[in-house]
């Protein structure tokens, strides 16, 4: 028994153990958590379930409907009394007397009926069911689209934490450099080789770097909180990242991504389904011009004194055809309205296909731009580091001023920040290509 409880405790704690490495998560873990916990994903799942129930409800219209009715009536109307007595099996020869026929006494009747109604031909049911199926398909695509959106949002948040940490590291380097510069300025001033103003300028520069460091630490905290929020962690929790994201090879030719997007984008599939729904809607409106055929059967009990009583019983079975000949031209307008909605849906689909192709091409151009910007930023960083080294040597030999050295270090700090920003931008640009092609989850989670 103790072993059982131990195993149960381990199983219950397994999810927390998987993600409890000092609050660190991998990208895949973060995406899995968000897809399992995100409220918007859950809302889309509920809509999909509701649509499936809508399909089941529509299909149930093919099945017979059974009604139970219990009616009570009292009357002294001659025809009603006559029929009540017939239904109850209480009609006698005395009831044929003229005075009784014309002026009957008050009669009561409890009528119990079980009725079955079965559709035999009703195209409205057929097309209504098809509409419900298309709605369920559309909700499925909407769920997939929402999952892609949430996964991409988590990727951005994850990248935000990585960017904030890199910026924090850059500011830490800047603070260390500024502290060293202040130490040198004080040493030179103490040795009578430097100016007091240089020492003050170095102290001011250190204060600026420390302020940037404070902001960078808070940015790391807030980025971790946003990632925790995206993955469904409790309010106020902070998550750290364990993966190092970077721009990787796309693995496909650029010209392939437009075709991928047209085949995989869930918003396009939603619009395609909407166009198909509109086409079925035209058929549904047209079915109103056709007749419907239903079968029916009913078993009836009648009693004078008791509900659900049985003085007498009877049954009836048959079929009825209904064909609406004229309705004030309503059906013509409904069909014209449905055709206009179909045209609108197809025009929206055509526009979105062009928009998606543009988004893919734009994301490819931006990724190429981000790659080139990153290369330039890295070259600039190398130049800035070399510039600081040369100016520092000149400063040590009294051939350059402290202002020159601080300017060089400021340029170096900007170059470091630029590399961090461009590395983040390149990774995000790569992910945006996959996202615009509708294959983001497929590529990130493989």
- What is the spatial distance between Cα 329 and Cα 393, in angstroms, rounded to a whole number? 94
Cα-Cα-Cα-Cα torsion 38, 43, 49, 54, nearest 10 degrees, comes to -170
Tokens of 23: 């609050």
What's 96's DSSP letter? G
Angle 134-136-142 (CA atoms, 0-180°, nearest 5)?
A: 105
Closest alpha carbon to 221 in 173, 177, 167, 172: 167
For helices 266-287 and 256-264, what crossing angle results, to 10°?
40
Neighbours of 22 (CB within 10 A): 6
Q: Computed from CA positions of residues 377, 379, 385, 391, in that sequence, does the dihedral angle turn out positive or negative?
A: negative
Residue 90 burial (C-beta neighbours within 10 Å; 0-12, 13-18, 19+): middle
Which domains are seen in the chain, by residue range? 24-63+122-288+324-445 (1.20.1600.10), 64-121+292-323 (2.20.200)
Tokens of 94: 């005395």
Q: Could you tell me which residues come within 8 angstroms of residue 240 by beta carbon, excluding any fewer than 6 positions away?
A: 22, 23, 24, 25, 161, 224
pLDDT at 78: 92
Tokens of 305: 């004194």
Neighbours of 111 (CB within 10 A): 17
pLDDT at 177: 86
Q: Please provide the DSSP assignment of 248-275 as one string.
A: ---SS-TTHHHHHHHHH-HHHHHHHHHH
Q: Are the C-beta atoms of 360 and 257 separated by less than 8 Å? A: yes
Question: At residue 318, what are phi and psi to the nearest 5 degrees?
Answer: 175, -170
Query: Running along the chain, 446 residues long, what does each successive block of 10 average in pLDDT?
Result: 37 39 82 93 96 96 95 94 91 86 92 96 95 96 95 94 92 89 80 77 89 94 93 88 85 89 95 96 95 96 93 94 91 95 96 96 96 95 93 84 86 91 94 95 90
- What is the spatial distance between Cα 282 and Cα 268, in angstroms, rounded to a whole number? 21
Q: CA 220: distance to chain centroid?
A: 27
Instruction: Please give the C-alpha separations between residue 247 and each of 46, 162, 430, in angstroms, as whole numbers.
Output: 35, 13, 6
Tokens of 296: 């029916």
Scanning the structure block, which residue is given the tokens 């809607």? 281
pLDDT at 7: 36
pLDDT at 439: 94
pTM of the model: 0.82
């Amino acid at each position: 028994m103790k072993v059982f409880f131990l195993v149960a405790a381990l199983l219950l704690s397994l999810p927390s153990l998987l993600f409890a490495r000092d609050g660190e998560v991998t990208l895949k873990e973060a995406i899995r958590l968000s897809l399992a916990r995100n409220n918007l994903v859950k809302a889309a799942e509920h809509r999909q379930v509701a649509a499936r129930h809508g399909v089941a409800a529509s299909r149930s219209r093919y099945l017979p409907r059974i009604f139970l009715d219990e009616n009570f009536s009292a009357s002294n109307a001659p025809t009603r009394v006559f029929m009540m007595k017939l239904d109850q099996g209480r009609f006698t020869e005395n009831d044929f007397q003229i005075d009784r026929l014309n002026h009957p006494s008050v009669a009561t009747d409890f009528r119990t009926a079980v009725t079955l109604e079965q559709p035999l031909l009703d195209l409205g049911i057929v097309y209504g069911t098809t509409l419900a199926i298309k709605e369920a398909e559309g909700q499925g695509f909407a769920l997939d689209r929402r999952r892609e959106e949430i996964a991409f949002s988590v990727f951005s948040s994850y990248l935000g934490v990585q960017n904030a940490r890199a910026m924090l590291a850059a500011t830490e380097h800047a603070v260390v450099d500024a502290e060293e510069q202040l130490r040198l300025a004080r040493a030179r001033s103490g040795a009578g080789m430097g100016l007091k103003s240089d020492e003050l300028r170095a102290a001011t520069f250190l204060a600026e770097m420390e302020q940037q460091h404070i902001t960078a630490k808070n940015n790391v905290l807030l980025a971790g909180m946003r990632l925790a929020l995206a993955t469904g962690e409790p309010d106020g929790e902070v998550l750290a990242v364990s993966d190092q994201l970077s721009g990787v090879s796309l693995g496909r030719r650029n010209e392939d991504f437009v075709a991928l997007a047209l085949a995989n984008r869930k918003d396009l599939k939603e619009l395609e389904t909407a166009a198909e729904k509109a086409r079925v809607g035209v058929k549904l409106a047209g079915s109103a011009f056709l007749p419907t055929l239903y079968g029916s059967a009913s078993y009836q009990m009648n009693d004078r004194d008791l509900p659900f009583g049985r003085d007498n019983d009877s049954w009836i079975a048959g079929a009825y055809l209904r064909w609406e000949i004229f309705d004030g031209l309503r059906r013509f307008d409904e069909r014209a309205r449905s055709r206009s909605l179909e045209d609108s849906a197809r025009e929206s689909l055509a526009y979105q296909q062009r928009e998606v192709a543009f988004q893919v091409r734009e994301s490819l151009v931006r990724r190429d731009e981000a790659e080139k910007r990153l290369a330039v930023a890295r070259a600039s960083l190398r130049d800035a580091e070399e510039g600081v080294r040369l100016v520092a040597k000149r400063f040590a030999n009294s051939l350059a001023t402290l202002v020159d050295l601080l300017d060089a270090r400021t340029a170096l700090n900007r170059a470091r920040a630029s590399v961090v920003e461009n590395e983040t931008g390149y990774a995000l640009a790569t992910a945006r290509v996959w996202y615009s092609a509708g294959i983001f989850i497929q590529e990130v989670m493989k």
